[in-house]
């Protein structure tokens, strides 16, 4: 079974603090993702990475950055936390589609248990 582990289940930080959210996966997946989940808005993609040291902006990257120095680890950084970044943060990983047959591409995302971040 794929295991995606997020370092903290709950975090409380103050406005202006620098915040690090860590995610580790144990299945040698090429792709890793950071989403945030808010009531009524669903899951929204912040950043993703398709290889070590590679990163791409998702739909809501403002106020965030990421780091992928090793294949198994993908970190989300809030440079200066603000109250509107209070949310549930979900990390996910998946196989690269290049590893699959073209008529399939059945590569589901595997999610971690989430980090509920509160910024006060």
Euclidean distance between CA atoms 39 and 57, whole angstroms: 22
Residues in contact with 108: Cβ distance below 8 Å, sequence separation at least 6, in sequence order? 94
Query: Which of 40, 69, 84, 101: binder of other proteins (CB under 8 A)?
Result: 40
Q: Is 94 in the site for other proteins (CB under 8 A)?
A: yes
The interface region with other proteins, picked from 15-23, 62-70, 72-80, 101-109 by CB under 8 A, is: 101-109
Euclidean distance between CA atoms 67 and 7, whole angstroms: 15
Q: Are 75 and 81 in contact (CB under 8 A)?
A: no
Angstrom distances, CA of residue 98 to CA of 88, 104, 112 = 30, 11, 23
Nearest approach in angstroms of CB 3 to other proteins is 11
**By C-beta, is 82 or 96 nearer to other proteins?**
96
Cα 46–Cα 83–Cα 74 angle in degrees, nearest 5: 30
Q: Is 52 in the site for other proteins (CB under 8 A)?
A: no
Nearest approach in angstroms of CB 54 to other proteins is 9
Nearest approach in angstroms of CB 41 to other proteins is 7
Residue ranges that bind other proteins, judged by CB under 8 A: 4, 30-31, 33, 35, 40-45, 48, 50, 56, 58, 90, 94-98, 103-114
């Amino acid at each position: 079974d794929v295991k995606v582990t997020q370092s903290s289940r709950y975090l409380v930080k103050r406005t202006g603090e620098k915040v690090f959210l860590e995610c580790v996966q144990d299945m040698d997946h090429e792709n890793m993702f950071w989403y945030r989940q808010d009531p009524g808005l669903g899951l929204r993609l912040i950043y993703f990475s398709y290889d070590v040291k590679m990163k791409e902006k998702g739909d809501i990257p403002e106020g965030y950055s990421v780091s992928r120095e090793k294949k198994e680890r993908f970190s989300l950084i809030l440079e200066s936390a603000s109250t509107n970044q209070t949310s549930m943060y979900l990390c996910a990983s998946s196989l690269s589609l290049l590893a699959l047959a073209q008529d399939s591409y059945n590569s589901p995302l595997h999610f971690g248990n989430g980090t509920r971040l509160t910024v006060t």
